[in-house]
Structure 1
Amino acid sequence: MSEKHPEFTLNNGITMPAFGLGVFQSSPEDTRSAVKMAIESGYRLIDTAAAYNNEQQVGEGIRASDIAREDIFVTTKLKPADYGYDAALRAFDTSMQKLGLEVLDLYLLHWPLPMQFADTLASWKAAERLLAEGRTRAIGVCNFRPLHLQQLVEQSETVPALNQVELHPFLVQNDLREANRKLNIVTQAWSPIGGVNRYWESGDDPLVHPAILTLADKYGKTAAQIILRWHLDRGVSVIPKSVNPQRIQENIDVFDFSLTQEEIRAIDALDQNRRGGPDPDARMPGRPHQQ
């Protein structure tokens, strides 16, 4: 990962910015302006999903910016309701129409659905076809545990380029990160600063933990910036969500410092192995604000 222009090289050779904007729970009205602001602030990765109902506004925000399309990396996701080979192909077409794009950069399966894994596998084979046809530059998954990855890899031709998972100081996911690393899969964190805990009031907030605040004071940074830097120093891609212009600019201002190994381990030690979002082993994840 280059620090000056941070990016990862995916396992099929294409490059992806390490830092991006997430638009989970961003309203259509807010999404357009947030995407435009993020691009103007230096973001070059935008992450959305069919389930977020804001793909159209993501496309509009990209076109409203002054940055060329080829310089922006766009991710969207297949929702479980559209799993299945033919259904996935149709859903991809719908997403592309809403985004207003000819070629997608990264297409992800949103959940593993282990109890309906035949549908997951059929969807993955559809994604492989889209990759082979050049309609998407890379394919990957979300919320897959090591066993899910093993099953997928054993029954298909393509190793996912990326696995996007819930990951923050209270759920550090070291075993999953290692499983991804062994397969040359990039780990990407959704809810990287622990926002999922605030959405559903499921526990403490990493942003007010004394260990994080102490480091924020030391480096003259916000607690969010400390956590985002922790992810990057561990080799994890991040897609923090915000529609606040100041926060959008603030979040990406993390490339002028690094944490020490001791400080990284101190944040690792905050792990509670407590998931704030849906259980990846659920038959059909469906909490009110599904990530």
Structure 2
Amino acid sequence: MTDKTYTLNNGVSIPALGLGTWQSAPGKVKSAVSHAIRSGYRLIDGAYCYGNEDEVGQGIQEALASGGVKREDLFVVSKVWTTYNTRIEAGLDKSLKDLGLDYVDLFLVHWPLLMNPEGNHDKFPTLPDGSRDIIRDYNHVDTWKQMEKLLGTGKVKAIGVSNYSKRYLEQLLPHATVVPAVNQIENSPALPQQEIVDLCKEKGIHIMAYSPLGSTGGPLTQAEPVVKIAEKHSVKASTVLLSYHVARGSTVLAKSVTSERIDENKKIIALSEEDMKALNEYSDKLTAEGKVQRFVYPPFGVDFGFPDKS
């Protein structure tokens, strides 16, 4: 399934499966990225904030040097961090330098807030009391206007957002000259975020799902419907959870630094209507009971408009 692709709203092709690099252990990222590309992955997802784009770049270069894969075959994603949301191109240039690339295929707004660009830390500035140094009168629409200008630089093929709720998208879209190509969100049967998925589908914004197993430790692999479907198809629970997104028409990011697991994650299967019905019923029950599980929500102290956090 590493060869399945979707077409974004600007005509650019994006793979259905990608390698995620968030929280990947230092010293292991280069080999993971290199192995993933050589084994068929074409989408590599990274971000300046992850602090490992230099290793991601080394892995890309190693895979390209091994032959058989060209830069234009790859889909490389990066994200501008919150301290750079008023100086987007400078943030992009930092990532390009670390990656050793002339352009990225997709550049995203990592989170719609602004941490003090002149604060006491490049990524995580703090106030004297230790809380995050956030500029409270910031308007995320201003960041998007800068993102749109990047399309004329040749440094990006597509632009999009990440961690955008329905509320924030509805604030952004009336002012957007360019509709975001992608919204990368935490997404799983335990956090279906159907209101975002439906709005994005209506507006032609492609969903890219992260933390498909429920973040570190993969707690969702123990969920009853997931286990039953895995047994039915004689596959691992993780395979079911990754396949769920492809069945929904989304791109999914599988995160690992071990060769065996990277290879295992390629084994996406076709889930039946019955399978998806069981997973959707599980999601609906959690939603109705107010028990959806969000595993990634940094302590910014900002209401981003997600119903489970508002």
With normalisation by structure 1, the TM-score equals 0.88
Give the whole-Å Cα distance in 2 for the aligned partners of 1:4 and 1:50.
25
Question: Are 2:294 and 1:275 aligned?
Answer: yes
Runs (5+) with no aligned partner, structure 2:
115-134, 287-291, 305-310
Letter in 2 for 1:130: L
Among 70, 73, 79, the residue aligned to 1:71? 73
Q: 1:103 and 1:80 mapped to 2: Cα distance?
A: 20
Contact kept, 8 Å, 2:2 with 2:40, in 1: the verdict is no
Match of 1:154 in 2: 174
Q: Report the count of equivalent residues.
A: 273
Q: Which amino acid counterpart does residue 231 of structure 1 have in structure 2?
A: H
Q: CA deviation at 1:57?
A: 0.8
CA distance in 2, matches of 1:36, 1:51: 21
SS in 1 for 2:207: strand
Alignment of structure 1 residues 1-291 onto 2, 5 Å: 5-65=3-63, 66=67, 67-84=69-86, 87-113=87-113, 116=136, 118-196=138-216, 198=217, 205-254=219-268, 257-271=269-283, 272=286, 273-278=292-297, 282-283=301-302
Q: Structure 1 residues 60 and 172 mapped into 2: Cα distance closer, same or farther (>3 Å)?
A: same
User: Structure 1: which 5+ runs fail to align?
Assistant: 200-204, 286-291
Quickly say closer, same or farther: Cα 1:116–1:74, change in 2 above 3 A: farther
Is the helix fraction higher in 1 or 2? 1
For the Cα contact (< 8 Å) 1:170–1:274, is it kept in 2?
yes
Q: Residues 146-178 of structure 1: CA distance to partner in whole angstroms, max 9, x if unpaired?
A: 121121111221110000001011111111100
Pair 1:34–1:122, CA change in 2 (3 A):
same
1:280 is displaced (CA, Å) by: 10
**Is the CA contact (8 Å cut-off) linking 1:49 and 1:77 kept in structure 2?**
yes
Alpha-carbon shift at residue 281 of structure 1 (Å): 8.7
Q: Which has the larger radius of gyration?
A: 2
Displacement of 1:284 in angstroms is 8.8
* Cα offsets for 1:203-236 (capped at 9, x unmatched): xx21012221121121121100011111111111
SS at structure 2 position matched to 1:277: coil
Equivalent-residue separation in structure 2 for 1:180 and 1:42 (angstroms): 28
Whether contact under 8 Å (2:3, 2:40) holds in the other structure is no
**Do 1:24 and 1:48's aligned partners in 2 also have CA atoms closer than 8 Å?**
yes
Following TM superposition, by how much is the alpha carbon of 1:119 offset from its aligned partner in structure 2, in angstroms? 4.5
Q: TM-score, normalised by structure 2?
A: 0.83
Distance in 2 (CA, whole Å) between partners of 1:188 and 1:59 is: 21
- 1:53: Cα distance to partner? 0.4
Give the whole-Å Cα distance in 1 for the aligned partners of 2:271 and 2:169. 31
Indicate the RMSD between aligned Cα atoms, in angstroms.
Answer: 2.1
Once the 2 structures are TM-superposed, how far is the Cα of residue 134 of structure 1 from its aligned partner?
A: 2.1
Residue 122 of structure 1 deviates from its aligned partner by 2.5
Show CA shifts across 1:234-274 (max 9, x none).
111101110111110000111xx311112102112222322
CA shift in 2, pair 1:16/1:46, >3 Å: same
Q: Contact 1:24/1:241 (CA < 8 Å) preserved in 2?
A: yes
